[in-house]
Each structure stands twice: as C-alpha cells, then as structure tokens.
Amino acid sequence: MPGRVAMVTGGSRGIGRATCLELSRSGFQIIVASFEVEKNEEVASEIQAAGGKAVPLELDLTSMDSIKQAFAKALKEWGRIDVLVNNAGITRDGLAMRMKPEDWDLVLQVNLSGAFFCAQQVLPGMLRERWGRIINIASVVGQMGNAGQANYVSSKAGIIGLTKALAQEVASRNVTVNAVAPGFIETDMTARLPQEVKDRMLSAIPMKRFGKPEDVAAAVNFLASEQAGYITGHVININGGMYM
C-alpha cells in the first residue's frame, strides 16, 4: 500500500503499539498519536529502525483544541490520512451506584467522543479521495456488559453504534468503517487487575488463554487492506470464544 498513511490513537502502548508495528510492516506510513510524548517517540523510532516510516504526534482526546491541532499538523506533514484507528481508551471503574460524575464524563469523553471527533477530522479527506478506512477498537464488554464498568461499557457499546452509523453515511464514497471488539488482551490496562479477576475471566474463555495485542493488530491490518474493501459496519470479535 505505497504512500498510504495510517494514524493510530493510543499508539504508544499495548494494542495501539502492536497495531502501529503491524501496519508499518504492511507498508503504511504511521502516525503514532497519544498524550505520551516520549512513548510515541519510542514506537516511531522502533518502526524507523525496522525500515518503516513513522512520526510521533501529541494528542489529548479530552481537548478539542488538541484534536484539531494534532490533525492539522498530521495533514500538513503527510498531506493525507488514509486509515484512522481509534484505539485510545481509558477506564475509571466503580459500581454505578457510587460512580463519580467526573469518572463517567472522562471515560465517555476519551473513549467515545474522542473517537467521533477524530473521525470527523479525517472524513473530508477520505470522502474527497474516495478511499478510507476507519477502524474503531470496541470491547467484548460493550457487547456483553460488565459489572463495575458502566462508563467503559457504555463507551464501547457506543463505539459499536457509532461504527454502524458512520458506515452507512460514507459507504457510497468507498470509505469503510468497522470495529474490532477485543476480549481479554494482555496489556498494561489488564495487568492491573487482581489475580482472582483474571482467573475468573480465564475460566470464561473457551480457548483457555488470554489474547495478545498482536491478535488484535492482525485484524486491524486486514480491515485496513484492499482485501477488506467490501466489509463495512461490521464488528470483528477477537475474544477466544468468550462471547459469541
């Protein structure tokens, strides 16, 4: 895919980092975007060392100004963004009864509103070029629910709805919008969970193992490819059979 540019939000670690590396191996030029400036630079350097092209980009999804400035900078530097991977996400877990309004707002703002406003920034160019891929990272809990995560679950269920709505709006211009819904993936986010929670999760996975970031990155890479050109509005589940 010569010359095509892919931007990955939350590209500094976990699924985002694995996705940056995978897309680079497929020939995409990569924009590693997150609020973690040093880690963005590390991932970009890793890609460059392997012979790929990548630039780091500071992006704060809680700020509309930051979103606009980041995309303006990316478009000025590269001239286009062909693939957007909305991967950035946070958790602020707690029982619904006691959840603080700010914890609800922040998770929805980063995970759902952030994804929408990023998509808004790239759509004009994609529609003009009549080619584009938006790939949203949802979650198995957005499909099946999870106690103590009303905010996160709502944001990820919202991502699935957003995916389907956008897909219908832009399909006629050869722009596809799909989602990937990971199950339990070994990342920094899941590493913080208590062991008893991990054991309980493992017992619910028919494949009896946790996924790796590379498992998710492979699906994103496929959805970004020419081969996936007739797939839109779809959710690919990568969960080891945890939810079917």
Q: Which domains does the chain have, with CATH numbers?
A: 5-238 (3.40.50.720)
Token pair for residue 66? 């930051």
How many other C-beta atoms are found inside a 10 Å radius of the C-beta of residue 193? 13
Burial 2-27 (b: 16+ CB within 10 A, else e): eebbbbbbbbbbbbbbbbbbbbbeee
Residue range 77-97, pLDDT digits in tens? 999 999 999 999 999 999 999
Question: pTM value?
Answer: 0.97
Whether 243 sits among the annotated catalytic residues: the reply is no
Question: pLDDT grade, residue 221 (50/70/90)?
Answer: very high
pLDDT of residue 3: 84
Catalytic residue selected from 28, 71, 104, 152:
152
Chain Cα centroid distance, residue 77: 22
pLDDT at 11 over 90: yes
Residue range 22-42, pLDDT digits in tens? 999 999 999 999 999 999 999
Question: pLDDT grade, residue 190 (50/70/90)?
Answer: confident
